[in-house]
Chain A
């Protein structure tokens, strides 16, 4: 059964001036010459929750890696009005919380506490503040009891939630998640959906889970072959079956 939320708060992408994120004509070639992004432009406003969908190899992950300067392409990226350059990378990285798809890549410290503390510590915050933030972030993903656990003893769903906590502790203005629901069982997926719904942060989430898109994200951006091919209200985009079919997507 598809679940619909007719009362979703709808932000209109057309009227957005991009106060959180502005990407203009971003191009990127991989070192082997393969072009991954052919001029991508879009904006995100405060409170936007946008889904980034598209087939494998469309450039979603590549785009996300640009948003806090891990990959450097040609074009312009502005986060909170600050132009991304090499000099302000540390600042940008504290504003954009990027969560990788595989939690085993995201969680690299022996204990959960250390992993969640990694971001704030490397931002140069004092110890007390780091502790406060770790407690806060773990509470936000409802994993407070897990601080002393070892990452390799956690289930995939638990790892996913801790992964999100590792960037929440940096108090980012923008949360960027790469396929957060991949590999989760229904219950873990449900918990994650509630978590994402309740987080009051601007979000850009790449996913193949169209049911998740419908439930959580008022706005959808479709990418294919390194370009943005559609950007608008989820309700309208999901109704356009021709568009979906053309880019290998299903309504979910």
Chain B
């Protein structure tokens, strides 16, 4: 019984997988920052950015549509930007009443909303690709190399390790609940003379069980953290995490990194 649903790494022998993790992290962040900095309506630059994502997809050998499919999951979050349609000053296009207010759609507002949508969509694809072509431990190492604060990388590493253990525990708790969520057969239970499987427990009952489970989970995690800390102490931990740095940048990494940074910079030039 294993929950691997958080594993986003997809192995291929692609050139993107062999690229050093630091380079990939820097390029992804640079691409996302560049997207954020492009002005509204820089469609040429957005289009070229998408070509860049497509090229990266191709280099990953995961298929051209790999990130496209997975990026849809982030779309609902872009709806948070919907207010920009009404709040950006510009030429009014139409208006409609909403909760006693008069909402005015402006052309600049629509443009901004569409741009935000495209920006986030491109950025999400870059991030999805990053975690698909880099193993999680490599990502953490890359962050360490890039001087991310030790406490953050350590917390992420623990989170990664124990997310699986915790989700396995959740699955076990859910199974235990299922196994005991029994009903009497219809014939012997006068209160529920319906067919098998029809009876549903009330919301209150289910909320109560869920609450107990969350409490259980918290207690178990709390106790586990104690045991893990002991295991760390037993192996010489004295308050300072140390790690090996097994990664080196090759000439190839430098070249690819520099070239892509140039591409991203030229996106900025084109978009402005």
List B contacts of A108 (CB < 8 A): 158, 161-162, 228, 231-232
Decide if B227 touches A105 in the complex (CB within 8 Å): yes
Give the complex CA separation of A150 and B139 in angstroms.
14
Known: A110-B157, A117-B244, A150-B137. A122 touches B238 (CB 8 A): yes
8 Å CB contacts to A: which residues of B92-140? 135-137, 140
Counting CB contacts under 8 A, is A152 at the interface?
yes
**Residue among A70, A97, A109 with max Cβ neighbours from chain B (10 Å):** A109
8 Å CB interface, B229-249 against A: 230-238, 242-244
Contact residues in A for B140 (Cβ distance below 8 Å): 110
B61 to chain A, nearest CB (A): 20
> Known: A65-B230, A121-B243, A127-B244. Is A109-B157 also a contact (CB below 8 A)?
yes
Q: How far is the CA of A68 from the CA of B236 in the complex (A)?
A: 10
- Would you call the interface of chain B mostly helix, strand, loop, or mixed? helix
The complex places the Cα of A68 from the Cα of B235 at a distance, in Å, of 9
Q: List 8 A-B contacts (CB under 8 A).
A: A70-B230, A105-B230, A110-B160, A117-B244, A118-B235, A121-B242, A150-B136, A152-B4
A178 CB → nearest B CB, Å: 11
Kindly state whether residue B164 has any CB partner on chain A within 8 Å.
yes
Instruction: List residues of B whose CB falls within 8 A of some A CB.
Output: 2, 4, 135-137, 140, 157-158, 160-162, 164-165, 224, 227-228, 230-238, 242-244
CB distance from A166 to the nearest CB of B (A): 7
Write out, one digit per residue, whether chain A residues 64-104 have a CB within 8 A of any chain B CB (1) or not (0).
01001010000000000000000000100110111010101
Q: Which residue of B lies closest to A127 (CB)?
A: B244
Within 8 A of B (CB), among A49-70: 65, 68, 70
Please pick, from A119, A130, A152, the residue contacting B235 in the complex, using a CB distance under 8 A. A119
Closest-CB distance, B140 to chain A (whole angstroms):
7
Interface residues of A (CB under 8 A from B): 65, 68, 70, 90, 93-94, 96-98, 100, 102, 104-111, 114, 117-119, 121-123, 127, 130-131, 150-153, 166-167, 170
| A123 and B236 contact, CB distance less than 8 A | yes
Q: Which 7 A-B pairs have the closest CB atoms?
A: A122-B236, A152-B164, A119-B235, A110-B137, A105-B227, A98-B234, A121-B242
Would A119 and B137 be within 8 Å (CB), given that A105-B228, A108-B161, A130-B244 are in contact? no
Q: Are B238 and A90 in contact (CB under 8 A)?
A: yes
Q: Which residues of B contact A98 (CB under 8 A)?
A: 234
Minimum C-beta distance from B224 to chain A (A): 6
- Within the assembled complex, what's the spacing in Å between the Cα atoms of A131 and B243? 12
Q: In the complex, what residue of chain A is closest to B9 when comparing beta carbons?
A: A150
Q: Which of A90, A104, A107, A109 contacts B236 (CB 8 A)?
A: A90
Min CB gap A91→B, angstroms: 10
Chain B positions within 8 Å of A106 at CB level: 231
Question: Is B235 in contact with A166, judged by CB distance below 8 angstroms?
Answer: yes
B191 CB, nearest partner CB in chain A, Å: 42
- Residues of chain A contacted by B224 (CB below 8 angstroms): 104-105
A104 contact set on B, CB distance < 8 A: 165, 224
**Are A170 and B236 touching (Cβ within 8 A)?**
yes
Residues on A with C-beta less than 8 A from B230 are 65, 70, 100, 105
Of A114, A117, A122, A130, the residue contacting B137 (CB under 8 A) is A114
Interface contacts beyond A93-B236, A109-B157: sample of 9 additional A-B pairs, CB < 8 Å, sorted by A: A96-B234, A100-B234, A108-B228, A110-B157, A119-B236, A150-B136, A151-B161, A153-B2, A166-B235
Whether A110 pairs with B2 at a CB distance below 8 angstroms is no
Tell me how far the C-beta of A239 lies from the nearest C-beta in chain B, rounded to whole angstroms: 35
* Contacts known (A109-B161, A150-B137); A68 close to B238, Cβ less than 8 A: no
A249 to B204, CA, bound (A): 46
> Whole-angstrom distance between the alpha carbons of A98 and B230 in the complex?
10
Contacts of B227 in A (CB 8 A): 100, 102, 105
Residues of B with C-beta under 8 A to A93: 233-236
Chain B positions within 8 Å of A151 at CB level: 161
Cβ contact within 8 Å between B137 and A105: no
- Rounded to whole angstroms, the CA-CA distance of A97 and B2 in the bound complex is 29
